[in-house]
Amino acid sequence: MEMTAFTLERRPGKPLYEQLYQQLKERIAAGSLPSGEKLPSKLRLASLLGVSKNTVETAYEQLVVEGYVEARPKRGYFVCFQDRLGYVGRPGPAASQPANPPRPAGPDIWADFHPSRIDAAYFPYTKWRKYIREALDASAADLLQIGDNQGEYALRVQIAEYLRCARGVRCGPEQIVVGAGMEVLLTQLHMLLGREVCYGLEDPGYELPRRLLMRLTDRVLPVPIDGRGLQPDILRKTSANAAYVTPSHQFPYGSVMPAGRRQELLAWAGEGPGRYILEDDYDSEFRYAGRPVDALMSMDTDGRVVYFGTFSKALIPSLRIGFMVLPPSLLERCRQNLDFYHNTVSRIDQAALARFMAEGDFERHVNRMRKVYRRKLEKTRAVLSSYGDRLTLRGDSAGFYVLLEVKNGMDEETLCRRAREAGLRVYPLSASLPAGEKGPPGILLGFAGLPEEKLEPALRRLLSAWRGGGQCPLTNVTGPEDTAGFFAR
Amino acid sequence: MEMTAFTLERRPGKPLYEQLYQQLKERIAAGSLPSGEKLPSKLRLASLLGVSKNTVETAYEQLVVEGYVEARPKRGYFVCFQDRLGYVGRPGPAASQPANPPRPAGPDIWADFHPSRIDAAYFPYTKWRKYIREALDASAADLLQIGDNQGEYALRVQIAEYLRCARGVRCGPEQIVVGAGMEVLLTQLHMLLGREVCYGLEDPGYELPRRLLMRLTDRVLPVPIDGRGLQPDILRKTSANAAYVTPSHQFPYGSVMPAGRRQELLAWAGEGPGRYILEDDYDSEFRYAGRPVDALMSMDTDGRVVYFGTFSKALIPSLRIGFMVLPPSLLERCRQNLDFYHNTVSRIDQAALARFMAEGDFERHVNRMRKVYRRKLEKTRAVLSSYGDRLTLRGDSAGFYVLLEVKNGMDEETLCRRAREAGLRVYPLSASLPAGEKGPPGILLGFAGLPEEKLEPALRRLLSAWRGGGQCPLTNVTGPEDTAGFFAR
């Protein structure tokens, strides 16, 4: 071994032993110190390099730990590694360009009628900050350790009370599992129900659970809906034993599942062992005519319904807090089969949300937002009515969007393109339908997310784009802030 | 219909229409208003009850929405529901007792040597609070909307830089997916790799991934380890195409996978299409002799390694922030197949952690904790050495526990029971081994979680319990605070 070629510098941040280790390792990997070669004794190398014996020993030991060198008792240190893949010096596929952060979507879109967007401007930020601070200050030591797998007990007590008052559901905190969104919770339920379970899903229906479950299992069946929701008669003919439904507000058609259909579904569940109904109650707080319809779970006397709720709509989506309510029959299985699965939500956030609910802030916020959204919905109805009978609104008493049936002779593609040319984004119904299925042209029009002052001009602009035919589409819209140009037209 | 039986009261909180709706619904459900029965006209019922026509109309419309009543044009309102399941008035299985919050585990345990517990007392709370406040204050509006599926860009930039400096891994932020723990991230990876993938796992090995994957698929194979970790020769004979390994610190034996074995594994991955190595690098920051061993991924020139990291050990477990690094070959699949899967970590926490890392606080904290844990380990070695050659320490240069081989004639059960009687909890090695497998009696002894001032007395107490035979086991220990009694003996 050529020992003079080492360059060791005394400098801060990089100890001598580490420089020596690094240079030895490079030679071993490059093959210039081949496998089987004996390294000089610690004392000899130390005196050659003018460093302490300790420095050489630490470098050798690190090479031993990493498996480049082996120490043979009473014989010394020997190289025991041979580079077979030639990884040294090769750049590696991961040396990627410094990527730029993703650009915000569509800078040429002035107004986005996304069907699931909410209005975050009313979020009670000051209150929330206060509770977060208190959780950070008060419970410091306790909240640092790993918590209960199902979530903070105080939060589960609040959720149970909320479900009793607002959704007619009677359950105890021990039935509730808090989780970082539907994706996590539905996966956990799948692990509970076992790999043999076969899912029946509303068709057409919400995309997320379908895509999630199809990545977990090949037992996912579409079950056609009618105006009352998922059809138990058809469900009964399949091998499904878990039915996913949105009874409070079916996506995308917006229908409410009537009481009779709910009972038929519960009857189906009662007919076989291990049958469950998965109730996704994603936006039930937001019903604008009459009172909210009680949850399907409130009718369940047999313990067949798993209920999914979320704070993404009623509070803010970026918190990522949802929950599921398990029927008593699944609790023991949850404790046994999922005891390794730690809770997925920060304990600080859970503690803050528990306070937020206990102090009545959550209820006040939901009541306030219901009024805000009702105003926006009424505005939407009023503006759209000027389009006469070429436009029919469906599913317009709940949630965050209306379904428009447009009969002005344009197909969905033209409707969306016309909107796009006017700086507006609307969403075609067919994107939410099974491939190939064709109804009358439909548009999912989210009204909840747009600021109130923007909603009316955006709606008028939309009608004008659909009405106007070819006359002067707006092509010079350059950014979300570019409202002056629009109003000046 | 007997109309006089309605009791409507003008009182706040419960509108008249809702009282009427509720009472009508109860009669329909109970069958006293049978299916097909015509309800009185709105005007007639209003005048009978002395309420406005509007009140009756709202009640009727709610019943229509919920499917109890149907409106037939020009004929009036008819009951259309018949209770077939008899759910009304039945208590339902969910009416559970008000459960008490779960009691903290083992009040009679004075010291718990849990092998994965960390010392949270040193967490830089003031700094963390500051960054959380700043994230809450500054970025309010932006952080309220749903974020990037893979996580906050600023955090991913910091993680990539940390991996480059500390783990020898070159990757870009676009390869990183932030997630609420190994459970979530491994599930996401499973969804990416597809249902056909077959996993080979270290045996014995870490319980969590094995249990998680076995709930997702039946393609999970144990692959025996030797002193160098998972054995590629045996792996090669199985149908596994994804190998889960802990090369930096194998659980439970604590060995480091040598460079040669790492290359053999990489060679295995290169032999077939779609083969991947899952590197779980859960505690690599904490190596107490020499420098941390570079990650297996740092050797990967072929894009075959998926790297899993966590902040649970280096920061605090209750934050629930981990991440995985995908090789470039999986990025496109991630964007296409998981675009529905929203990120699972609060954006506020992500923003705070990005600041914490950018300001150097993370590095400072890890360096500090390495010293704290090294001190504890040295204390542990010193105290245990007094037990002579009846005790051998293994895996004692990294992580949060040591593996004790005890040769004093007691079996694991006796060792644990003796400890328990002295108010101590220790963990038998066999619980982490495949059923039936028997080596010499072993104990996993976590040294990191106990406060420094408690560690030495707890260790002495343990040796005394193992030494002392039957003489006066401590049975009067009543709580974690009961240290006086112990010291007074």
Quick: pLDDT tens for B197-213.
999 999 999 999 999 99
Out of A197-206, A356-365, A434-443, which region has the weakest mean confidence (pLDDT)? Answer: A434-443
Q: Round to whole Å and give the CA distance between A406 and A95.
A: 51
Provide, as residue numbers in chain B, all residues whose Cβ is less than 8 Å from the Cβ of A187. Answer: 187
Nearest to B170 among A92, A217, A267 (CB): A92
Does B94 contact A303 at a Cβ distance shorter than 8 Å?
yes
CA distances from A381 to A394, A402, A468, A476 (A): 11, 9, 20, 29
Q: To the nearest 5 percent, what fractions of chain B are helix, strand and coil?
A: 45, 15, 45
Measured between CB atoms, does A120 come within 8 Å of chain B? Answer: yes
**B193 with B332: CB under 8 angstroms?**
no
Provide, as residue numbers in chain B, all residues whose Cβ is less than 8 Å from the Cβ of A120. Answer: 141, 144-145
Provide, as residue numbers in chain B, all residues whose Cβ is less than 8 Å from the Cβ of A176. Answer: none
Out of A11-20, A102-111, A126-135, A446-455, which region has the weakest mean confidence (pLDDT)? Answer: A102-111
Segment 330-389 of chain A within 8 Å of chain B by CB:
337, 340-349
pLDDT tier for residue A269 given thresholds of 50, 70 and 90: very high
**B197 with B240: CB under 8 angstroms?**
no
* Averaged pLDDT, B356-369: 93
Q: How far is CA B373 from the centre of its chain?
A: 23
CA end-to-end span of chain B: 82
The rounded radius of gyration (Å) of the Cα atoms in chain A is 31
Out of B60-69, B137-146, B318-327, which region has the weakest mean confidence (pLDDT)? Answer: B137-146
B380 CA to chain A: closest CA distance, Å?
22
B252-274: pLDDT as tens digits? 888 899 999 999 999 999 998 89
- Answer yes or no: is pLDDT of B246 > 80: yes
Amino acid type, B129: R
A126-185: pLDDT as tens digits? 899 899 888 887 656 667 778 899 999 999 999 999 999 889 999 999 999 999 999 999
For the record, the structure tokens of A434 come out as: 């099974």
A93 CA to chain B: closest CA distance, Å?
6
A402-452: pLDDT as tens digits? 999 999 999 999 999 999 999 999 999 988 887 767 778 999 999 999 999
Segment 422-451 of chain B within 8 Å of chain A by CB:
none
Q: Round to whole Å and give the CA distance between A255 and A396.
A: 9
**pLDDT value of residue A288:** 86
Segment 140-199 of chain B within 8 Å of chain A by CB:
140-141, 143-148, 153, 169-175, 180-181, 183-184, 187, 190-191, 194-195
Out of A113-122, A213-222, B23-32, B139-148, which region has the weakest mean confidence (pLDDT)? Answer: B139-148
- Return all residues near A166 (Cβ < 8 A) that are at least 6 apart: A285, A292
Strand extents, DSSP E, A204-304:
220-226, 229-230, 242-245, 276-280
Segment 206-225 of chain A within 8 Å of chain B by CB:
207-208, 211-212, 215-218
Nearest to A346 among B67, B147, B319 (CB): B319
Measured between CB atoms, does A87 come within 8 Å of chain B? Answer: yes
Nearest alpha carbon to residue B273 among B296, B241, B297, B295: B241
Strands A305-310 and A322-325: antiparallel
Task: Give the SS3 label for residue A84.
Answer: coil
Q: In three state form, how does the secondary structure of B246-302 look?
A: CCCCCCCCCCCCCHHHHHHHHHHHHHCCCCEEEEECCCCCCECCCCCCCCHHHHCCC
- What is the DSSP secondary structure assignment for residue A287, as one 8-state letter? B
A190 CA to chain B: closest CA distance, Å?
8
Which of B63, B177, B301 would you mutate first to test chain A, the one with the most A CBs within 10 A? B301
B32 CA to chain A: closest CA distance, Å?
17
Nearest to A291 among B18, B133, B349 (CB): B18
**pLDDT value of residue B126:** 87
**pLDDT value of residue A230:** 96
Measured between CB atoms, does A105 come within 8 Å of chain B? Answer: no
**pLDDT value of residue B86:** 57
Amino acid type, B458: A
Does B267 contact A143 at a Cβ distance shorter than 8 Å?
no
H/E stretch holding A385 reads helix A361-385
* Averaged pLDDT, B322-338: 94
Does B67 contact A260 at a Cβ distance shorter than 8 Å?
yes
Provide, as residue numbers in chain B, all residues whose Cβ is less than 8 Å from the Cβ of A136. Answer: 125, 128-129, 132
Task: Give the SS3 label for residue B425.
Answer: strand
Residue in chain B closest to A304 (alpha carbons) equals B93
- Residue B333, Cβ neighbours under 10 Å: how many? 14
B416-457: pLDDT as tens digits? 999 999 999 999 998 888 776 777 899 999 999 999 999 999
Nearest to A98 among B140, B172, B257 (CB): B172
**A441 with A466: CB under 8 angstroms?**
no
Nearest to B347 among A261, A291, A318 (CB): A318
* Averaged pLDDT, A23-46: 88
**pLDDT value of residue B102:** 56
pLDDT tier for residue B476 given thresholds of 50, 70 and 90: very low
Q: Round to whole Å and give the CA distance between B353 and B307.
A: 20
Does B303 contact A94 at a Cβ distance shorter than 8 Å?
yes
Out of A356-370, B72-86, B260-274, B287-301, which region has the weakest mean confidence (pLDDT)? Answer: B72-86
Provide, as residue numbers in chain A, all residues whose Cβ is less than 8 Å from the Cβ of B145. Answer: 120, 316-318
**B273 with B287: CB under 8 angstroms?**
no
- What is the DSSP secondary structure assignment for residue B190, as one 8-state letter? H
Mean of pLDDT over chain B: 86
Does B195 contact A207 at a Cβ distance shorter than 8 Å?
no
Task: Give the SS3 label for residue B177.
Answer: strand
- Answer yes or no: is pLDDT of B364 > 60: yes
pLDDT tier for residue A474 given thresholds of 50, 70 and 90: very low
B30 CA to chain A: closest CA distance, Å?
13
pLDDT tier for residue B296 given thresholds of 50, 70 and 90: very high
Q: Round to whole Å and give the CA distance between A182 and A171.
A: 20
* Averaged pLDDT, B401-412: 92
Out of A47-56, B2-11, B132-141, B473-482, which region has the weakest mean confidence (pLDDT)? Answer: B473-482
In this prediction, what percent of chain B has a pLDDT beyond 70?
88
Q: Round to whole Å and give the CA distance between A11 and A31.
A: 28
- Residue B472, Cβ neighbours under 10 Å: how many? 10
Strand extents, DSSP E, A63-180:
69-72, 76-79, 111-112, 176-179
